[in-house]
Amino acid sequence: MKDKRNSLIILKSTLGRLPSYYCEIENRVARGDEFVSSSSIAESLGINPVQVRKDLASISSEPGRPKLGFRVDILLEDLKRYLGYDHYDEAILVGVGALGHVLMQYGGFAKYSLDIVAGFDLKPKEEKIGEKPVLPISKMVSFLKRTHITIGIIAVPASEAQNVADMLVSGGIQAIWNFAPTTINLPDNILVKNENLAASLAALTTELRRRQ
């Protein structure tokens, strides 16, 4: 019997690489490939082939075949199911500034079964972005309790992020995607993914200077 604690460790260490595998396998399906090897995926993505093999073995419902590899159609479905792309989710966004505006307009989220259905702002400058309403933040909690949406996206300044997070939790949000450049304190049962754009840029420019 598998140790559940080991399975959780595999999930945490693998999850960050799975979306890249999904895109690669999706491309293979589109061009008509029937099988794909872990070494071929590793070469395309610049990842250690042993790591790819371990990652795919942890989520694949069918083992790879000798000299052929994994069936791409089955592997794509396994990845889709594991990443939750087979389950449609709705989200709201808080902070309809420059970044929030871009996120609300981005159509690519639909590919991964996510739809930002509404935006909220302290002082909305427009009533809609496309067909999606932009509402005063004072209406957010009641909106969440009425719609039972469970994902909230934060795109406000750092000084406002904690207050917004608290409001989201009070409205029933279970997962937060945080673009504010700060750490927010949340109850243990709330999932959070932080996207620190400044830190990512700093890492990129530091590596660029090192290479130069």
Relative to beta strand 191-194, strand 89-94 is unpaired
Looking at residue 149, what is its pLDDT? 95
Of 165, 170, 100, residue with least CA distance to 135: 100
Please list the pLDDT of the chain residue by residue as tens digits (212 residues): 343 333 444 455 677 788 889 899 989 999 999 999 999 999 999 989 999 988 998 888 888 888 888 999 999 999 988 887 777 889 999 999 999 999 999 988 888 889 999 999 999 989 999 999 999 999 999 999 999 999 999 999 999 999 999 999 999 999 999 999 999 999 999 999 998 887 777 878 888 888 87
pLDDT digits (tens, 9 = 90+) for 134-184: 999 999 999 999 999 999 999 999 999 999 999 999 999 999 999 999 999
Cβ neighbours of residue 146 closer than 8 Å, sequence gap 6 or more = none
Cβ neighbours of residue 12 closer than 8 Å, sequence gap 6 or more = none
- Measure Cα distances from 144 to 47, 90, 114, 166 in Å: 41, 11, 16, 13
> Tokens 């598998």, residue?
2
Looking at residue 83, what is its pLDDT? 81
Q: Where are the alpha helices (DSSP H) in the chain?
A: 4-14, 18-30, 38-45, 49-59, 72-83, 98-105, 140-147, 158-170, 197-211
Looking at residue 1, what is its pLDDT? 36
Type of residue numbered 145 = K
Right CATH for 4-83 from 2.30.36.70, 3.40.190.10, 1.10.10.10, 2.30.40.10: 1.10.10.10
Q: What does the domain layout of the chain look like in residue ranges?
A: 4-83, 89-199
What's the CATH superfamily of 89-199?
Answer: NAD(P)-binding Rossmann-like Domain (3.40.50.720)
pTM, to two decimals:
0.71
